[in-house]
Structure 1
Amino acid sequence: MLFCRSSISTHLNYRVRVWFQFTSSISSLKVVWRKDEKLDEAIENEKKWRLCARVVKEVLNEPGQVIPLRYLEKRRERMRLPLKVDTFLDRNPGLFDTYLDRIKPKSEPVRFIRVGERLQRFLEEEKRINRENEGLVVAKLCKLLMMAKDKVVSADKLVHVKREFGFPNDFMVSLVPKYPEYFRLVGCPGEGKSFLELVTWKPELAKSAIEESAEKESNLTGIRVRPSFNVKLPPGFFLKKEMREWIRDWMELPYVSPYEDASNLDQASPEMEKRTVGVFHELLSLSLFKRIPVPILGKFTEDYRFSNAFASVFTRHSGIFYVSLKGGIKTAMLREAYRGSELIDRDPLLKINDKFVEMLAEGHRERAEKLRLQRETVQKEMEMMALRNSEQGSYACGEEMQKIEDLDC
């Protein structure tokens, strides 16, 4: 009996110690941020095409998809375009056509730009890829609602993150109404008071990437694998002993699915920390590039029950996430999704981005060939001029020699 009481007491003391460790020191645990050049490179590699995408988006959002060139020039700062629009058009041929038109009936004609033939072909290809992957987009949208508190998310927020998850530009009007068995739109998007509700819970979608990975491994090995985060610290990364012990104990806690009801969890509990990490992991897994800017995630604090200090989770769990500072903005990245600077498993919707990059490359090759022909033409003209000058010099020299001979005579 004494032994039994002693064991119970020891176990309770351990539980109290661990609970105290989590609740009292979780906010004081600090991990020094360390630069990961390869993951930063993944963002840097897309810098050029993202710049082009911003300009394209600006024009496509205009009525009739046309805009006076000078108006676009005034928006350079907002688009973060470091060069003049004329220079941008010259360096990216085929994106837009220029033509003269009047802004007002009696005004002088000015230069306008409109969608070019090459860009139009890409937009048709984008529609085709979206149609082929409509089921994937619907599943992603369902999952975002299934993780949310009360299974409701602001429609305007979802529109704001459409590019992060690969949703079509007009998905609220072209896609959502097609699936009334899954979605209910309350209010009108754009007014700040519209919401998208989940109508039907889909059990087959209530599995996170972590759970699916564990299930896949269990099927391959025949051994039940417990869902767990993949901790992948970069080379040379060092954690203090206190932090290593904390992570070890935290990893031993049961995995909390982001699709489970979390309304009964205390915000400061280790279980809530486990769920928060799980939600972030799932959100990044659903995103196109397995990364999302931290300020964008912050917009969903209420929807997904994040604490106000949610950003500290990314540095506290540096073996799971990485926070890049590229472009002057914090971007949360999923470490396991990358091998060096390359994505391991590519989202099917990334075909759209690949087609966009191919379109830009086609224009760049066209420009390079044009510049090469111009250089060759200039070179030939210079050689012809040099030859003519040489011939004229020889002829003049001959005349001078003849004069000298005549004088000698």
Structure 2
Amino acid sequence: MIFLKSLRCNEISFGPFNSFSQRRWKKPVVSAQTRLETRTRDSKLDKLVTHIHKLKTILNIHQLMSQRKRGPFVSVQLMSRWRNIVGLNVGMGAFLHKYPHVFELFPHPIRRNLCCKITRRMRDLIDEEEKIVKNYEHELVQRIKKLLMMSKNGTLHVHALRLIRRELGLPQDFRDSILRKYSKDFRLVDLEIVELVDRDESLAAAEVEKWREKEYIDKWLSKFETSNAFPNNFPTGFKIERGYREKLKNWQRLPYLKPYESKEVVRVRTCGGIERFEKRAVGIMHELLSLTVEKMLEVERLAHFRKDFAIEVNVREMLLKHPGIFYISTKGSAQTVFLREAYSKGCLVMANPIYVVRRKMLDLILLGCRNTRSLEYSEESKEEINGLVFRTNGGGRRDGDWVIPILDSYDQNVLDNQGEINDSKQPFDGCESGRSQIVCFEDESS
């Protein structure tokens, strides 16, 4: 009897219709962090982000040096205070000595402490980029107008534009040189919001429309297949799960509100509203990346456009859902999103003049300590810096690959006005002789 009672209890407690013993299977929630960790990595784009991070650090150092009004060269002892500002994890002296094609180190002729200035080749490239930006002023105006046409109310925050100024190719003083100058196109509201005066319907065509027209003509596809589709270029090693192709095919055919259409935003609760709403956000991010110089942006800075573009979805999660359209790299201190169709083997497919100049800057950086013989002064070369004439001749003293300049003539008043120069010499570490690998840039051979 005891055995039967225990058996009945077991049947009741573990029965198939007992609500207390049933365990319902729940589908695991895939978060954005999980997608980021399990995504297929693109090593070439990751390596490109590492190189671009070095270039941004060097340009930040140059900007700090250019703010010094007392001369084109700065003492390394003063520059060591900028380590936290530019985000260096090594000593300033060691960092400067790694890139002799960018930074020129020399002892001060009187005070004998170590000083630094930008090399002539790097200065020429920086000046060349500034000239190109001035020549392409009309195109920059069109970029800003297209951004304003994508916004919900035709307005954008100037602070958001300032955050992606370099990515859009805008000059540093774009508020005065572009927004104030073209008053017929832009109107400044409270000095922090720029408003579009009139829409230009000739610019209301997204970049993806060119790809759709090409697919329609070249591959003879139907309008139903191409009118709402996006190019998908999956990275090498990407695993396509079961049912993914069918979901992607249905998503490509799904109609959505395109970036430049000034209609009412689709509601989420309508039929297919969530998918259409997310696809509208994909279209806006695709067009925003297409308007940049290098087809890349930091993910954190995209959040400043969510309110103006009426994007209510998680931007990072949305980008990770479409690995064939976007790629997020976690190299460096910030996450960077790329437009996959714009890159092939780590290089931009359709290069522009600003990108070409920045690639030349990367070439100088990736040279490292190689080919330093080309940096030597000729026997009778002279260079004047604020009244100081430096000359190297047969009596010039050499220190490794560096040629120490000899003072020819000077003005004591100029020397006294240099300021921030200490008599103590700033030691620096030796240069790393490791050969860095150049990814799809010119002058790859040493």
TM-score (ref. length: structure 2):
0.66
Distance 1:365 1:133, change over 3 A: farther
Partner residue in 2 for 1:331: 336
Question: Would the aligned equivalents of 2:233 and 2:341 in 1 still touch at CA under 8 Å?
Answer: yes
* Residue of structure 1 in register with 2:427 after alignment: none
Aligned residue number for residue 128 of structure 1: 131
Report the alpha carbon displacement of residue 64 of structure 1 after superposing the two structures with TM: 6.6
> 1:293 aligned to 2:298?
yes
The one of 162, 169, 178 aligned to 1:175: 178
AA partner of residue 55 (structure 2): W
The aligned amino acid for 2:155 is V
What letter matches 2:182 in structure 1?
A: Y
Note the C-alpha offset of 1:120: 4.4
Q: Which residue of 2 aligns with 1:234?
A: 235
Larger Rg: 1
Counterparts of 2:258 and 2:313 in 1: how far apart (Å)? 21
Matched, 1:260 2:267: no
* 1:121 counterpart SS class: helix
Maintained 8 Å contact 1:185/1:197 = yes
Give the letter for the 2:234 counterpart: L
**Across the two proteins, how many residue pairs are aligned to each other?**
340
User: Which aligned pairs between 1:350-365 and structure 2 lie closer than 5 A?
Assistant: 350-357=355-362
Q: Contact conserved, 2:40 with 2:235, CA < 8 A, in 1? A: no
1:123 Cα deviation (Å)? Answer: 4.0
Distance 2:113 2:305 in 1: 44
Q: Find the partner of 2:77 among 70, 82, 85.
A: 70
8 Å CA contact retained: 2:133, 2:354:
yes
Residue in 1 that maps onto 2:46: 40
Letter in 2 for 1:128: K
Q: Distance in 1 between matches of 2:105 and 2:242?
A: 62
Aligned partner of 2:437 in structure 1 is none
Cα pair 1:133 1:348 within 8 Å, conserved: no
Name the counterpart of 1:316. Answer: 321
Could you say if the C-alpha distance between residues 98 and 204 of structure 1 is closer, same or farther in structure 2, counting changes exceeding 3 Å?
A: farther
Name the structure where helix makes up a greater proportion of residues: 1
1:49 corresponds to 2:71: no
Q: Confirm or deny: 8 A CA contact 2:40 2:237 kept in the other structure.
A: no
User: Which blocks of at least 5 consecutive residues in structure 1 are unaligned?
Assistant: 1-24, 102-107, 189-193, 378-409
Contact 1:72 1:85 in 2 (8 A): yes
Given the alignment, which residue of 205, 209, 214 partners 1:211? 209
Instruction: Note if contact 2:146-2:203 (Cα within 8 Å) is conserved in structure 1.
Output: yes
Paired residues of 1:323 and 1:332 also in contact (CA < 8 A): yes
Offset, 1:203: 0.8
> 1-side partners of 2:77 and 2:39: how far apart?
43
| CA-CA distance at 1:352 after TM superposition | 3.4
Amino acid aligned to 2:187: R
Residue 80 (1) aligns with residue 84 (2): no
Structure 2 unaligned residues grouped into runs of 5+: 1-26, 377-397, 403-446
2:287 — aligned with what? 282
Deviation at 1:241, TM superposition (A): 3.2
Asked whether the equivalents of residues 289 and 296 of structure 2 are also in contact (C-alpha less than 8 Å), the reply is yes
Letter in 2 for 1:153: L
Instruction: Give how far 1:269 is off.
Output: 2.4
Deviates more, 1:38-47 or 1:339-348: 38-47
Q: How far apart, in 2, do the equivalents of 1:340 and 1:138 lie?
A: 31
Q: Give TM-score scaled by structure 1 length.
A: 0.71
Query: For residue 191 of structure 1, what is the aligned residue in structure 2?
Result: none
How much has 1:246 moved relative to structure 2? 3.2
Partners of 2:45 and 2:329 within 8 A in 1: yes
Kindly state the Cα deviation for residue 355 of structure 1 after the two structures are TM-superposed: 4.7
Residues in 1 aligned to 2:283 and 2:170: alpha-carbon distance in whole angstroms: 22
Higher relative contact order (CA 8 A, sep 6+): 2
Confirm or deny: 8 A CA contact 2:233 2:340 kept in the other structure.
yes
User: Which deviates more, 142-151 or 355-364?
Assistant: 355-364
CA distance in 2, matches of 1:356, 1:232: 28
| Rounded Cα–Cα distance in structure 1 between residues aligned with 2:344 and 2:101 | 33
State yes or no: 1:199 paired with 2:200.
no
| Displacement of 1:325 | 0.8
Which amino acid counterpart does residue 352 of structure 1 have in structure 2? V
Distance 2:401 2:128 in 1: 36
Q: Tell which deviates more after alignment, 254-263 or 33-42.
A: 254-263
Q: Answer yes or no: is the 8 Å Cα contact 2:329–2:336 preserved in 1.
A: yes
In structure 2, the partner of 1:140 is 143
Larger mean CA deviation between 262-271 and 88-97 belongs to 88-97
CA distances 1:34-88 after superposition (whole Å, capped 9, x unpaired): 2222221232343433332221123234557866643431121221234433444
SS in 1 for 2:332: helix
1:266 Cα deviation after fit: 2.2
In the aligned structure 1, how far is the partner of 2:375 from the partner of 2:121?
A: 17
Identity %: 27
1:202 deviates by 1.0
Q: How far apart are 1:256 and its partner, in Å?
A: 3.1
